Amino acid sequence: MRAIALVVRAISGLNTWVGNIFSWLSLGIVLVCFTIVVQRYAFDTSIIWMRDLYVWLNGAMFTAVAGFALLRNDHVRVDIFYRPAGLKRKALVDLIGVVIFLLPFCWVVLAYGWPFVARSWRIYEASANIGGMPGLFILKTFIPAFALLVALQGIAMALRSVLVLAGQEELLPEHLRYRRDEEQAQETAL
């Protein structure tokens, strides 16, 4: 069980590290967007590669931080039944959800996305816009990275569920455990 807890901590640490780094792209997105707006409305001009950069930064950030969002439980969840459930029921729902839905979804994204990315690398694909940015193949690499990071975090969720179902959740640090009902009530009150 300690090995399982170690794997959960390692995967969660990786996604925390990636999430903390790539979340800084949001600042770049704001700055690029602000620059585009000023250029357009103050100077009546536009630079094509900057418009590409704005979209590409968005794509890179949101695909890279998806595993981190899953770790933090920031994804949309229909939790009419999940939220009031006990820890073991939540763990069982997470385990089933990861195995039946999340991991197959990640496999589909990886299996169907890989040829798309490989082709892009073979031809060193650039923006379709004249005057756009080169290196679209690098951005497309975030597709399999997304699938791998989310799948890894899904595996960590499933293993965390196994620990909870085995009564060994205390092997995990506090920030990786399921939140208790009191914590959820406090969060809702805020």
- The whole model's pTM is what? 0.85
Backbone φ, ψ for residue 24 (5° rounding): -70, -15
Q: Which residue has the tokens 């939790």?
A: 79
Residue 58 burial by CB count (10 A; 0-12/13-18/19+): exposed, middle or buried? middle
Please provide the DSSP assignment of 95-150 as one string.
HHHIIIIIHHHHHHHHHHHHHHHHHHHHTT---SSTT--S-HHHHHTHHHHHHHHH
pLDDT-derived band at 96 (thresholds 50, 70, 90) equals very high
Of the candidates 69, 66, 60, 68, the one whose C-alpha atom is nearest the C-alpha of residue 25 is 60
Closest CA to 175 of 23, 22, 63, 8: 8
Rg (CA), the chain: 20
- Residue range 45-66: mean pLDDT, rounded: 91
Residue-wise pLDDT for 135-144, tens only, equals 899 999 999 9
**Quick check: 118 pLDDT over 60?**
yes
Q: Which two tokens stand for residue 20?
A: 């903390």
Given a contact cutoff of 8 angstroms between Cβ atoms, the answer to whether 164 and 5 are in contact is no
pLDDT at residue 78, as a whole number: 67
Q: How far apart are CA 56 and CA 186, in angstroms?
A: 38
Q: How far apart are CA 142 and CA 69, in angstroms?
A: 16
